[in-house]
Structure 1
Amino acid sequence: MIKKLYWNFVTYDNQKIFFTVSNHGINFVASPKGQISEIYDLYPKCKFQFEYKKDRTNQYEEELEEYLNTERTNFNLSMDLSDAGDSFQHLVWQKIMQIPYGEVRTYHDLEMQLGINDRKRLVKAINANPLLIVIPDHRVIETKDQLGDYRGGLAMKSQLLEMEAINGINNI
């Protein structure tokens, strides 16, 4: 089955960040310098038909821009994760969405909250997050001295944390 998606982009640090929206909500935010085709890495079993339709994406564009311009601290967007991830990944993403703006958690913190001792599985779930920025996995760091990986790149992770007024990564 082919799912219809509407696409648009926001500009961050002079780079386009593409995103897609289904009839049920935002379902993908690409990494900077990424293309819409990056969606297939996160939805490998899906087929999509893309259409640029600004009236379908305006609300999402506005909220992403407000966040990136430090005018918004959380999102009120409907999300469509129905074709993304498994139940464990959804649980990890829910925990990540509970991390307040301006705060960070370590991988260890998340493992403790989830009651697991499986760093590889946790990192794999974080990396499978299709909603860069919206599900704020940039707030998850390796240790208080190391940022850890980020699909958007370490420069973007660092910039987002600085934007959220986290001085370095010492406010754990």
Structure 2
Amino acid sequence: METKIKPTLYWSLLKFQGWNFYIASTSKGLVFVGSQNNPFEELFEWAKKCFPGSPLVEDDEKLEPYILGITQYLEGKRNTFTVPFEYVGTQFQLAVWNALCDIPYGKTKSYSDIANDIKKPTAVRAVGTAIAANPVLIAVPCHRVIGKNGSLTGYRGGLEMKTLLLDLEKRASSSTE
């Protein structure tokens, strides 16, 4: 059995208008954006599960491009992310997360829309589970997925955060039209 070198996880605390998010990347890209105002424990537990044995190193400089992108988004000045991601998940999860990235800024889709987008129309529940496992909040916009009846459904960051993100996008996209 060959020993695989564990990638270093670089992390930083992004602070924006009373919101605090722990974010992390590898040398390849953004891997984690935490829930608003959650403790470091959220990142630590996720890292233990998805990058077992990887060292966690605080490095504000390495995370600068990610912090800048997310901050610009939260200020309503950016509606797409150009930073690289390194997804850690199953093929199914990756398909779902990629489909989330295709939802236009300021728009929403239902879980069944996503299931149809990835050509698995009967996998609505599995789509919901994959969305719940999205480690990169905001940048991989799972907040744009709502119930079929238009209701706001679960969100790892909490429904308050989901509502704020959707409102931000509505305001920013209506001011540019």
TM-score by length of 1: 0.88
Indicate yes or no: 2:120 matched with 1:104: no
TM-aligned CA deviation for residue 92 of structure 1:
0.4
Residue identity matched to 1:68:
L
CA RMSD of aligned residues (A): 1.7
TM-aligned CA deviation for residue 42 of structure 1:
6.9
Residue identity matched to 2:61:
D
TM-aligned CA deviation for residue 9 of structure 1:
2.1
* Counterpart position of 2:23: 19
* Counterpart position of 2:85: 79
| Partner residue of 2:94 out of 90, 95, 107 | 90
* Counterpart position of 2:53: 47
Q: Please say if residues 25 and 78 of structure 1, whose CA atoms lie closer than 8 Å, have aligned partners that are also in contact.
A: yes
Deviating more after overlay: 31-40 vs 105-114: 31-40
* Counterpart position of 2:174: none
* Counterpart position of 1:125: 130
Q: Please say if residues 42 and 129 of structure 1, whose CA atoms lie closer than 8 Å, have aligned partners that are also in contact.
A: no
Residue identity matched to 2:109:
R
Residue identity matched to 2:135:
P
Indicate yes or no: 2:28 matched with 1:28: no
Q: Which runs of 5+ in 1 are unaligned?
A: 167-172
Q: Which runs of 5+ in 2 are unaligned?
A: 172-177
Q: Please say if residues 20 and 27 of structure 1, whose CA atoms lie closer than 8 Å, have aligned partners that are also in contact.
A: yes
Residue identity matched to 1:53:
D
Task: Give me the whole-angstrom Cα distance separating, in 1, the residues matched to 2:150 and 2:99.
Answer: 22
Indicate yes or no: 2:124 matched with 1:113: no
* Counterpart position of 1:61: 67
TM-aligned CA deviation for residue 37 of structure 1:
3.1
TM-aligned CA deviation for residue 162 of structure 1:
0.4
Q: Please say if residues 93 and 129 of structure 1, whose CA atoms lie closer than 8 Å, have aligned partners that are also in contact.
A: yes
Q: What is the SS of the residue equivalent to 1:55? A: coil
* Counterpart position of 1:135: 140
Deviating more after overlay: 84-93 vs 52-61: 52-61
TM-score by length of 2: 0.85
% same residue: 29
Task: Give me the whole-angstrom Cα distance separating, in 2, the residues matched to 1:47 and 1:125.
Answer: 24
Task: Give me the whole-angstrom Cα distance separating, in 1, the residues matched to 2:47 and 2:155.
Answer: 14
| Cα distance change of structure 1 residues 48 and 24 upon mapping to structure 2, 3 Å threshold | same
* Counterpart position of 2:150: 145
TM-aligned CA deviation for residue 10 of structure 1:
1.9
Q: Please say if residues 19 and 36 of structure 1, whose CA atoms lie closer than 8 Å, have aligned partners that are also in contact.
A: no
